[in-house]
Chains A and B, each alone.
Chain A
Amino acid sequence: MDRITDFVDAFVPKNLPKKRKAALKEELSCHILDKKDYYREIGYDENAGIDKAIADFGNSKEINNYVYREFEELYSERSVFGIMAFIIIAVVNYLCVPLDVWVWSIDSNRNTYPAGAFVSFCMILIVLLMIAFARIKKYRKTLISIGVINTLMACLFIYCAYPQMAVCTLVDNIIYLIDRFTPISMSRVRNVVYHGYFMIGLWSVFPLFPALYSFIAAVRIKKGRAKSVNKPKKKVSVFVAVYSVLALASSLMQPVGLDYFENYPVWFSIYQNNISEESQQKFDEITIGDSYSDVSARLNSEGYVTLDSYRNSLDRLKKKQFANSLKKFEFAEYYEIWFHPDKLTDGNGFVGLKQENGIITAKGIGNMEKDMYSYIEYGNHFAFGIGSDYGYNIDGMEEYNQSIDLHDAIEYFKLLKTGTSEAEVISRLGEELGTIYTKRFSVEDGKEVSYYRIYCYQKLGSERDYYYKIDSIYIELTFENGKLIKGAMYDEVTSEKTPTVTIEELK
């Protein structure tokens, strides 16, 4: 009996539940005893009968390949594995909060950081290792459990935090590498992707991949189509090593990419609704009828350059970044655009010159946009602020506190008549009620033509409000010999390309 027990013990896996192990041993021992009885009946003695019965079972290789492995695959999984996998993944996910390993929550978003990214990568590795373990052992219920918790996270029934930092870091690194080392410009893509809904969508969908794999593996196991994994320890070790190196490299690269984009050169910003004193001074110094070569030589000596000459002086990377910065601008035709690279980084630091036969015929300052609409279309003043009483603050909030009552500006514009003096209109609209952000001056057929673009805005709602809105209008005015000849008002809210009100309509 001892020999039978020893034999049966050898091919019943040790990691099975006690009851299952006992039942298997009972069944197999009984079989050997029945077989022994048969051999005794045909003339074998007790020991020889046992030997023959054991030998009939198969050789050690067959027993290991068929019986041991099959029993292990069929019975070694315990319900508690699935429950544990579910709990571990849920705990790993929620650990992100105390560990500060998250990027986005309902009311806040933050930058990634190397340690956080690495922890997030490690959390993903934990999930992947659990899947690998369950797949190698063919633990169907455990795989289903892993699939369920990941699906729940993907569906946002359970807030999905564990892949956030890793996904953000990985995407950011890819964007950084493309922008830094290829001719493709990614800074605008990054603005859309980083902290945008795309990224939230990406990391929310991320758990669906392990979930999908787990479900497919579970189905294949159920249908008997899942192949046994050869050399699982070696394969898992190689995977962990490669993954760890890549995770570490990606985490360490994170501050490099972040720094690169935070210091991404922006020569010109469209979000400037005033004219700098510097460029106003240049504008005043230029007189229509001056020699173009004299004016350009003077501007050059003061550090001003044309866009083209500046662009040509840059290296490959800077040239790409410069072009990217300029992409937002569509300049007025026939104007040569000048700027000071060191002093004027906003979109209104431009000085425009128009010349004919070496003589200056027109000058301009401000954002030098070709027309109103391209600027309005950016819609940057639909911005929402957050009241300080609620403990929140946003950069530049003070700026919004200087708004006027937009109603005054609109009413003043509506009452304007052609022929009104330039000084009066500009004093009221350009200084009291709004801000001039583009100015052009030319002399055509002996007539002095002045052209202005004015921005007026107001803050809707008080600082006590949780949210408040910036509402604004844009006005363009043309004067001939100091008298108003035409004008138009554009309401940003309507986003119409045609002006809301024109002076001609009011005449």
Chain B
Amino acid sequence: MNIKEELKKGSSAKLILSVLAKEELYGYMIIKRIAERGDNTFMLKECTLYPILHNFEVNGYVKSYFVEAEGRKRKYYKITGRGLKRLAEVKDERGAYSSAVGEVIGAKPSTILT
């Protein structure tokens, strides 16, 4: 995986953990929530979402369970304590990164999104 992909995964991971920190969701709804919250700025693709979700599950950042509804078995994901800790770390990393970028381009800290 190249740097670009890593960065992409990094921001995607933050988005996914952020929405899961608010509510327990299944894959389709996670994409939907991210799109809604970002006013359709962030359109997460399925081929990005599922590998990240399953990585999170293996690493203990999220837990999953199946819920049967409308004749379908949906897999819900729930953030764990470890996942919340990871989210805080990712936020810090991104914050530091944005500040550094701001320093370089001369932008005021308040104008930089983290």
Query: Residues of A at under 8 Å CB distance from B?
Result: 23, 26-28, 30-31, 33-35, 56-58, 62-63, 66-67, 70-71, 74-75, 224
Q: Does B27 contact A (CB under 8 A)?
A: yes
Residues of B within 8 A of A70 (CB): 50-51, 54-55
Q: Which residues of B contact A35 (CB under 8 A)?
A: 28
CA A23 to CA B53, docked complex, whole Å? 14
**Which B3-50 residues have a C-beta within 8 angstroms of A?**
26-28, 45-48, 50
Q: B104 interface residue, CB < 8 Å from A?
A: no
- Which chain B residue lies CB-closest to A60? B47
Is there contact, CB below 8 Å, between B55 and A27? no
Do the beta carbons of A67 and B50 come within 8 Å of each other?
Answer: yes
In the assembled complex, the CB of A481 is this many whole angstroms from the nearest CB of chain B, namely: 97
Extra inter-chain contacts (16) besides given A67-B47, A71-B51, CB under 8 Å:
A26-B66, A27-B26, A27-B27, A27-B75, A28-B50, A30-B26, A30-B75, A31-B26, A31-B27, A31-B46, A34-B28, A34-B74, A57-B47, A66-B47, A67-B51, A74-B54
CB-based contact B47/A31 at 8 Å? no
CA distance A31 to B26 in the complex (A): 9
* Most chain A beta-carbon neighbours within 10 Å: one of B45, B48, B55, B66: B45
A231: shortest Cβ distance to chain B, in Å?
17
Q: B45 touching A58 by the CB < 8 A rule?
A: yes
Q: In the complex, A70 Cα to B28 Cα: how many Å?
A: 19
* Contact partners of B74 in chain A: CB under 8 A: 27, 30, 34
CA distance A74 to B55 in the complex (A): 7
CA gap between A108 and B103 in the complex, in Å: 72
Q: Give every chain B residue within 8 A of A57 (Cβ-Cβ).
A: 45-47
> A27 to chain B: which residues have CB within 8 Å?
26-27, 50, 73-75
Q: How many A-B Cβ pairs are below 8 Å? A: 56
Interface of A is mostly: helix
Q: Mostly helix, strand, loop or mixed at chain B's interface? A: helix
Q: B58 to nearest A CB, angstroms?
A: 5
- Residues in A with CB closer than 8 Å to B73 are 26-27, 30
**Chain A residues closer than 8 Å to B51, beta-carbon distance:** 66-67, 70-71
A62 in contact with B45 given A30-B72, A33-B72, A74-B55 (CB within 8 Å): yes
CA A308 to CA B90, docked complex, whole Å: 80
Q: Given A71-B54, A74-B54, A74-B58, A34 and B72 touching (CB < 8 A)?
A: yes
Q: Which residues of A contact B58 (CB under 8 A)?
A: 74
16 A–B contacts from the bound complex (CB under 8 Å): A27-B50, A27-B73, A28-B50, A30-B73, A31-B28, A34-B28, A34-B74, A35-B28, A57-B47, A58-B47, A58-B48, A62-B45, A66-B51, A67-B51, A70-B55, A71-B54
Query: Nearest Cβ in chain B — how far from A205, in angstroms?
Result: 34
Q: Which residues of B contact A33 (CB under 8 A)?
A: 72
Q: Is the CB of A62 within 8 A of B75?
A: no
Residues of B within 8 A of A75 (CB): 54
> How far does the alpha carbon of A58 sit from the alpha carbon of B55 in the complex, in Å?
19
Alpha-carbon distance A57/B45, docked complex (angstroms): 6
Chain B CB within 10 Å, residue with most, of A30, A35, A56, A70: A30
A12 to chain B minimum Cβ distance, whole angstroms, is 10
Closest Cβ–Cβ distance, residue A34 to chain B (whole Å)? 4
Return the chain B residue nearest A57 by Cβ: B46
Q: How far is the CB of A109 from chain B (nearest CB, A)?
A: 48
Whether B46 and A58, one on each chain, are in contact in the complex, defined by CB atoms closer than 8 angstroms, is yes
Cβ-closest chain B residue relative to A34: B28
B49-74 contact mask (Cβ, 8 Å, vs A): 1 or 0: 01100110010000000100000111
What 1/0 mask marks residues of chain B from 76 to 106 whose CB sits below 8 Å from any chain A CB? 0000000000000000000000000000000
Instruction: Give bound CA distance, A62 to B26, whole Å.
Output: 21
Q: A23-B75, A26-B73, A71-B54 are in contact. Are A62 and B47 (CB under 8 A)?
A: yes
Counting from the closest, the 8 A-B pairs by CB-CB distance are A58-B47, A70-B51, A34-B28, A27-B75, A57-B46, A62-B47, A30-B72, A66-B47
Q: How far is the CA of A425 from the CA of B70 in the complex (A)?
A: 116
Residues of A within 8 A of B47 (CB): 57-58, 62-63, 66-67
A111 to nearest B CB, angstroms?
A: 51
A66 lies within 8 A of B28 (CB):
no
- Bound complex: CA of A23 vs CA of B50, how far in Å? 13
Residue of A nearest to B49 (CB): A31
The distance from the CB of B45 to the nearest CB of chain A, in whole angstroms, is 5
